[in-house]
Amino acid sequence: MTIFRGSRCDVAYSVPKLANYSAEALEKASSELLAALEKEGAAVANESDWKSFRDRWMARKNGVLTQINDIWLKAAPKDAKREVGQRVNELKKRVEGSVNKAESVYKTSSSATEKSLSSDRLDITLPGIRRPLGAEHPIIKTMNEIVSVFRNLGYSVEEGPEIETDYYNFEALNFPPNHPARDTQDTLFIAGQESKPLRERLLLRTHTSPVQIRSMEKMKPPLRVVCPGKVHRNDAPDATHSPIFHQIEGLAVDTNITICDLKGTLDHAMKALFGSSVKTRFYPSFFPFTEPSADVQISCIFCGGKGYRDGGRCPNCKGGGWIELLGCGMVDPNVYAFVDYDSKKVSGFAFGMGVERIAILKYGVDDIQLFFQGDVRFLEQFG
């Protein structure tokens, strides 16, 4: 008979026949039996092990106690039966005690394990602990709000790379080679580009207008897109300037689009963002990629366009009653030549606005740098 313990195989104890019944022989046989009893009792780890242990030693038909009774006591000569009987009775008590002890040990161990598991168990009926998820950054929140206004007008969203070529950032947008914006004082160029042709040099985009060119390359008219994203300029940071900021630019190209469509679209967008009482006005400006071009102002949302409040001049509009907000214009026909559009058949308009500029107005922030400093106390106000 063998007992398997994991990967180890041990020969189980079997009751030997006694060659003689001297005290020394009985003592040796009893010691071997008790050693086997202790070893097998120590291996009991659960109820199944204990039952096998109990039956092996105490079963009536072939248990170890039955075997020593048959092999030792019944086979003993008359003059040794008294001493052998006393020895068998002692062994019976030791076996019973060992079986009871093994039962107590495994039950105590199982109870401790169950108690440990119970303490770690999750009660799914209890309300959970919610992890704070935070909130949208005010810039992202404002950007999403602006985009949703134009989505509702049927515009799709297009995105492009922040590292652009001179071609997409300037040349295809009708910037002349000597335009000041192409100078390193205004634009952040990637180092080591001097050996490349001008149009292939890499830079950090200064506006999201390159996305408009890429969109026209991919799609044919009609198209209506807005292009949100991060832009970079070589500006020293102060309360109103940042070398990194965000823009949303829009483009609509179709047949018979006029400046009236442009004005109506932006008037609706400003009312959606700042309220139906807001008025808009357009006055002439200049951008290389639009002709004619215009700057757009809205009536001051702080003083209602009056120019004064709280008994004095309105500090937001500086008493003028109007706040400049964005630039726009009809797409210059020269731009269409870069994307294989026929300027005789299509027309369109473009516009662009700074997200931080609108967020400052909507939330009454007086320093653009607060948006980028990551101060939780400031950001928590917008949660």
Confidence at residue 113, expressed as pLDDT on a 0 to 100 scale: 65
Neighbour tally for 239: CB within 10 Å: 12
Domains of the chain plus CATH, in order, are 2-117 (no CATH), 138-382 (3.30.930.10)
Calculate the alpha carbon distances from 84 to 23, 65, 78, 158, 298 in Å. Answer: 9, 13, 10, 100, 115
Q: What is the pTM of this model?
A: 0.65
Bridge partners of 9?
4
Mean pLDDT on 128-141: 83
Which of 293, 294, 270, 268 has the alpha carbon at shortest distance from 283?
Answer: 294
Mean pLDDT on 55-82: 87
Confidence at residue 250, expressed as pLDDT on a 0 to 100 scale: 97
Say how many residues make up the chain: 383
pLDDT digits (tens, 9 = 90+) for 188-236: 999 998 899 988 999 999 999 999 999 999 999 999 999 999 999 998 8
Q: What is the DSSP string of 161-178?
A: -SEEEHHHHTGGGT--TT
The larger pLDDT score, comparing residue 9 to residue 208, is at 208
Confidence at residue 6, expressed as pLDDT on a 0 to 100 scale: 38
pLDDT over threshold 90, residue 118: no
pLDDT over threshold 70, residue 184: no
Average pLDDT score, the chain = 89
Calculate the alpha carbon distances from 99 to 14, 50, 59, 105 in Å. Answer: 18, 8, 12, 10
pLDDT digits (tens, 9 = 90+) for 87-103: 889 988 999 999 998 88
Which of 355, 111, 334, 320 has the alpha carbon at shortest distance from 242?
Answer: 355
pLDDT over threshold 50, residue 2: no
Mean pLDDT on 335-343: 95
Confidence at residue 321, expressed as pLDDT on a 0 to 100 scale: 94
Confidence at residue 112, expressed as pLDDT on a 0 to 100 scale: 66
The token pair that represents 270 in the structure block: 């400003």
Does the CA dihedral 355-361-366-371 come out positive or negative?
A: negative
The larger pLDDT score, comparing residue 349 to residue 382, is at 349
pLDDT over threshold 80, residue 114: no
pLDDT over threshold 70, residue 1: no
Calculate the alpha carbon distances from 244 to 157, 237, 240 in Å. Answer: 21, 9, 12
The larger pLDDT score, comparing residue 109 to residue 15, is at 15
What is the C-alpha to C-alpha distance for residues 58 and 87, in angstroms, rounded to an integer? 16
pLDDT digits (tens, 9 = 90+) for 267-321: 999 999 999 999 999 999 999 999 999 999 999 999 999 999 888 999 889 999 9
Confidence grade of residue 4 (pLDDT, cut at 50, 70, 90)? very low
